[in-house]
Structures are given as C-alpha cells and as structure tokens.
Structure 1
C-alpha cells in the first residue's frame, strides 16, 4: 500500500464486483480509499489511462494486486479521485448551478485530474461553466448587475424566512476570491478582470472565513441583508491583495478625475474667469458656481 500507517477502505459506491482494476488513493488525513472499476471506462475517457493499460508489461505503479485484480496506486487526493470517477459512473452527481458561489470548490478536484489525465471533454465542460459565471464584456457585466438587483428586490419585498431557502444575494452569486485562486492555479485568466473588479468593490472586513470573529457581527449580517457582498479574503496571496488595492485606488482616482471634469464643463458654461477661480485654494477640489 502507499502508506503502512494508512487504513484503506473500499468505497461504498465505486467498488464494483466485476471491476478489473483497483485504484487506491489517500486523503489529506491519510485515510485510504479503494475504487474497483473498469479499465474500459477509464480508457474511454482518458488517453493517459488508455496508454497505461495498453502496455504489454505491468505499468509503473502496478506493483501489487487486490481482491484478485491489479492494484494501481494514485498520487492524487482520494476525494478528487472519487469526484472524477463519479462523473464517469454517475454524471448527475456533479450538480452545477449558474452563478453558484461554491462552484470553484465543487469543480477544482475534477479540473485538476481532468487536466492531469487529459480528459478534454470534462475539462472543457467545467471551464466553460466556470467562465460563464464571470462577465467577459461590459454588456455581460451590466446583465449580471441587473440580475443581482432583481434578486435583491425579491428578498427585500418577500418574507425571506418562508419564501426562500437563502437569505442573501451573497449566497447565489459568484464569489471572487475562490474564483481567482482557481483561475490562477489552472491558468484560466479570462475571469480575472471581472473577479478582481468585484473584489475592489467589497469591504475587506466582510470575510466569509472570519464571520464569527468579526467584531461587528450583527452589522455584518445587516449589510448582507441590504445587498452587500463578502469574499474569502484569506484565500488571496499578498501579491493578489496588492493588485486589489492598487486597482481600487486607480478606480477612485479615475472617478475623481471624471467628477472634476464634469464640474469644470458645467462651470465654463455658466461662469467666466480663469479656471483657478473655480477651485478651492486649500483643497484643490472644484467649487460650485
């Protein structure tokens, strides 16, 4: 076995009596799982497994047997292996919903193994779903914002305790930090602009991983009921946090420059005199006519 200290158990579902290959894998807690499945199913989906099983000699890693069939030790997380195999044997088990904030966590394991074992159809399907949650154009962003606004109005007008299973728009729309983590891990850069922009609009104290420790606990949930959003801020690296704050400052400066420009245009239409007359000498901000 992969570890003498690990205790292996047969998977309660993915262990078929007529299977002709056993895969073993460990979880992060060093608990082992055995999957008895079919070479033909693995070969159908993965050229990596197909090539492995086509070898005339036992492939690297097949150095043991279990329950009368070859045993292959995988160096992948058992939870991820189970998720991948379920897409082969139980396709409906991967229930994906548009805009689900938990999508990155749901698909990460399958994406990692689909990429490793060259399961292109599954990889492309999951990436397409992931990308669709994050706008790629201004029109798509406006459409998402409109949908969020409509959902917020529903919550505010209805008795959320009886008419909805959830209480906040935060529960039904994409979460940016986990999306950034997955996109950078698997090189899916298309979603990064929208995810970073969404983060730049959020209060850094609204951390999904530290709700219970937040000193303004009640105020935090009041903000969520009013439509504010939160993020898994603790997932970000220091470099990513710097990108967020630099982007936020850049947006603020741009908005301020537009404000000054529009005020200047308004002043020049109704006032006369040099431009400096319309700025406060102490702060440098535009004055009104």
Structure 2
C-alpha cells in the first residue's frame, strides 16, 4: 500500500472531504483536505459526485470512503495537476504559474485537462485568455512581447557566459512547440500563428532536451550555444501536418518579394544624402538575410528614430519619415498574413497596430 502525505497549503482543518490523487512513481500518495461546497460551487461534476454519486463515471473516481471521520475521494488525476487546480480555486488571484517559464505550456495542459474533466469553465476561460495574451493575435500586444525579448537579449548578450541569475535567454520564454500541441488538444487556434512564427526563428537542430537536461547543461558545447542566445524547441511534439505548415510559412516569410516591392520606385528628395542610398541598399539586403523579418523591421525603425543612433545614419528627414511609414505598413501586412501563411485560415486575428508617427523622426 502506498504511503500518504498531506499536501501543504491545501489541507484545511475545517475541510469535509479528502481528495487522494495519483503520485509520481515512488512518491507518497498526496492528500488534500478541502471543502465540498467550494468544489461544488465551481464544478457541476464535483456536485454530482457529492450529491448523486450513482451518476459518476467509474473511470473518473474510485469512490468515496471514510477516513478518520472525514470522507475520502480517490481521483485518478496526477497529484501535481490536482494541486494546481485546487490552488486556482482557493486562491483565484494567484495563478500557480510563471507564464514566462519554458515549461508553462506543459504545466497548463494538465490544468486544462482537469478543467475539462470537472467542467470548470470559468477557470478554463481564465487560463485560455492568459495564453492568448502570451501568444497574441494583436500586433500591438506582440510588440510589447517583442520589446521584452529585445531587452533581455541585449542584457544576456552582455552578461558573462550569457547567464543572468544562472539563467540563459532560452530559460526566459515559453517553449513554442508545446503551445502548438496545447492549442491542438484544446482547440485554441488563435494561439497558433504567433507560436508558429516563434518556431520559424528556431533551428530544427536546436532540440530543447539537448540543451536543458541536467547532463546537457554541464556540457561545454551546450553552454556555449546557450550563451550565444540560442533558442530551442520540443520539435517532437509537432505533428507532421504542423511541421509542413511551419515549413510553408517559413517559405513565405523568407521570400524577399514583399520587402523589395515596398521600396521600389522610391525617388530621392533634394535633401537626400549618401546615407539615404545606403539605407535602401540595407533594406534590400535585409530582405534576404533575416529570418525574423518583424524584428528586423523594428530594429530598422529604432535606428532611424532614436536620437543617439539616427545622426550616425545620416538619413534625410523625408526618407526617415517615409521609411518609418513603410516599416509600419509592412509589419502590419506581414502580421495580418501569418494565419494564412501558417495554414490557420479563419482564425480571429486582430490586425490593429500601434502607430509610429512621423514626428518621432528627428
């Protein structure tokens, strides 16, 4: 018989039901002393278990027994997932996740499965809404994430060994292949375009487990690659059809046609300098040299508009303003095309963008 262990923080002395959950292999069975009325108020399935047990499916629970004058309910759920569910129900303002951690998508999968099993729709909606913020459909929200990535990338590039607080850049962000798998399992197609775009920036040779297992982290070559800001993914989680969608989307993103056409037919003004010609040459080179076209366009806009960088480029005001307008239009066009390019037609996609006014140009 397995030993048992009361779960800290989810053992209420005035509780009237003990939930007994499946442990990890070799661990003690975890017990949660909670309240029937709390579970029933969130979940019609728990209400049925406590009030009409004859209608409960045998595969969901093993039945209610008595334990020290308190009823005990054995559930066929992983203890870690059940703990997350109960923490969300008892402490609704404190989600038990760091949405920036690489493994958060896998952790949240367990929570969403229990929300589905126990029909806790409100909590599932909260989780999905948070996921939609982390993997946005809006370009304006994506730009907020993009700025954070840029800031952290610069910080890690300057840090000794590429580490800050013993973390590499790859430790700072959710891993994108697992979000694709999660979106497929729970039918959340809005998450897919942003996740596919993130995957399009990662080499298929960069496998997450090769970089993040305890043994791998001690290997000098692994440490060197992570110090170079390498990003990785759990490629094995992608279905063949999604790998094909990713490849087709990458082909569209790396086609220079859209970029070059945007800058064709530009005429020089009387104030143009050699820097303006150099800018156009750089733009054409950008079309063929970058994988992260959205990020590259943002960097271009920064170099044109930031006071400490713009004078070095020696671009006239007319060309700078026009280029910022073209960059904003092109980013919006690319963002709007992601669902089609990655084979997710019909998804609700917010195409609004933050404006980059010409008066930012110095």
Match of 1:36 in 2: 33
Higher relative contact order (CA 8 A, sep 6+): 2
Q: Is the CA contact (8 Å cut-off) linking 2:20 and 2:75 kept in structure 1?
A: yes
Within 5 Å, which residues of 2 pair with 1:1-289? 7-13=2-8, 14-27=10-23, 29=25, 32-55=29-52, 60=56, 61-62=62-63, 64-90=65-91, 94-158=95-159, 164-211=164-211, 218=220, 220-252=222-254, 255-258=255-258
What TM-score, normalized by structure 2, do the two folds share? Answer: 0.60
What TM-score, normalized by structure 1, do the two folds share? Answer: 0.73
Query: How many correspondences in the alignment?
Result: 255
Q: Distance in 1 between matches of 2:94 and 2:170?
A: 24
Q: 1:8 to 1:171 in 2, by over 3 A?
A: same
Q: 1:222 to 1:182 in 2, by over 3 A?
A: same
* Cα drift, residue 225 of structure 1: 2.9
Match of 1:271 in 2: none
Structure 2 spans left out of the alignment, 5+ residues: 57-61, 267-362
Deviations 1:167-198 (CA, angstroms, capped at 9, x unpaired)? 43322223201111222122211110110111
Structure 1 vs Structure 2 CA RMSD? 3.3
Structure 1 spans left out of the alignment, 5+ residues: 1-5, 267-289
Q: 1:114 to 1:262 in 2, by over 3 A?
A: closer
Q: Is the CA contact (8 Å cut-off) linking 1:53 and 1:59 kept in structure 2?
A: no
* Cα drift, residue 38 of structure 1: 1.5
Deviations 1:213-270 (CA, angstroms, capped at 9, x unpaired)? 98xx655544433333211223223332232223223333xx243477579869xxxx
Q: Distance in 1 between matches of 2:82 and 2:123?
A: 14
Q: 1:24 to 1:258 in 2, by over 3 A?
A: same
Deviations 1:142-182 (CA, angstroms, capped at 9, x unpaired)? 332232112222233455789x3144332222320111122
* Cα drift, residue 125 of structure 1: 1.7
